[in-house]
Amino acid sequence: MSRSAAQFLPARRTLASLRKAAANCRGCDLYKDATQTVFGEGSSTAIAMFVGEQPGDREDREGNPFVGPAGTLLRNAMGAAGIASDDVYITNAVKHFKFVERGKRRIHAKPKRTEVLACKPWLIEEIKLVRPHLVVALGATAAGALLGPAFRLTQHRGELVASLHAPRVVATVHPSSILRARDDDARRVELAAFIDDLKIIAELMRSESS
pLDDT in tens, 88-140: 999 999 999 999 999 999 999 999 999 999 999 999 999 999 999 999 999 99
- Please give the backbone phi and psi of residue 34, each rounded to the nearest 5 degrees, phi first: -70, 155
DSSP letter for 110, please: P
* Domains of the chain and CATH, by start: 5-209 (3.40.470.10)
* Count of Cβ atoms closer than 10 Å to residue 189 Cβ: 12
Interatomic CA distance for residues 108 and 105, integer angstroms: 10
Which spans in the chain are helix H? 15-22, 57-62, 69-81, 113-130, 140-147, 153-156, 175-179, 184-209
Q: What is the pLDDT of residues 152-177, one digit of tens each?
A: 999 999 999 999 999 899 999 999 99
Interatomic CA distance for residues 132 and 205, integer angstroms: 10
pLDDT at 185 over 60: yes
- Please give the backbone phi and psi of residue 59, each rounded to the nearest 5 degrees, phi first: -60, -40
